[in-house]
Amino acid sequence: MLIGITGPSGAGKGLVVRQFQERGFRVIDADQVAREVVLPGETALTKLAEAFGEDIIQPDGTLDRRLLAQRAFSSRESTDRMNDIMLTEICKRMMARAEECRGRGEACLFDAPLLIEAGLERDCDCCVAVIAPLSVRMARLAERDGLTEEEIRSRVSMQHEDAYYTSRCQYIIMNDSDIPSLNRQTQWVIQLITGVVK
């Protein structure tokens, strides 16, 4: 079984993913894979530098993530360019890991903000969208990532409306209340999935 979990930044995907993990799902984290593909010497890092400036590579050879984000989230075109560079390699690695899980008979999930954009939802048995009101998401991003309000607005303006996720996913979790409410919704969705998806 392969499940996809997606949604906009600050919606609370991490809390939902953790509950799936506690129920035995192996997590394939797109953010972790994204960090791997921009390590020094990786092809994706070289292509990002060509597209967004050599100075996004720091003296020690690592990516200056904040500088890249400032440039990549400055317009839809720039965001798309960054995604195009990274998604091919990310998808290849994630699918390879999913196949390894399947070979071992393990249920796994993709924790992937860009699940739909990457086309990975087509390989999933079903998908879950985690959404939350914009004001709630912005507050969470400020607390979690230490971003300024301008940086947050720039980032969220480049993301899709809720309908983009809800129209493409079979299950929806609205994270607009407290953690007990989120937990109840998640447990219900897990029960539905494990009882329906073979």
Range of the domain at 67: 2-192
Q: Is residue 100 part of a domain?
A: yes
| CATH number for the domain harbouring residue 145 | 3.40.50.300
Q: What is the pLDDT of residue 59?
A: 94
What's the whole-number average pLDDT of the chain?
91
DSSP state of 177: S
Residue type, 46: T
Confidence label for 197 from pLDDT (cuts 50, 70 and 90): very low
Q: Is residue 46 part of a domain?
A: yes
Indicate the number of domains in the chain. Answer: 1
> In sequence order, what are the residues at sequence separation of 6 or more whose Cβ sits closer than 8 angstroms to the Cβ of residue 70?
151, 154
Q: Is residue 71 part of a domain?
A: yes
Confidence label for 196 from pLDDT (cuts 50, 70 and 90): very low
The C-alpha atoms of residue 198 and residue 183 are separated, in whole angstroms, by 23
The C-alpha atoms of residue 181 and residue 189 are separated, in whole angstroms, by 13
Each residue's pLDDT tens digit, 126-146: 999 999 998 888 888 888 877
Q: Is residue 136 part of a domain?
A: yes
Q: What is the pLDDT of residue 159?
A: 81
3-state DSSP of 96-117: HHHHHHHHCCCCEEEECCCCCC
Q: Is residue 198 part of a domain?
A: no
Give me 152's structure tokens.
């947050």
Whole-structure pTM value: 0.79
Q: Is residue 197 part of a domain?
A: no
Confidence label for 150 from pLDDT (cuts 50, 70 and 90): confident
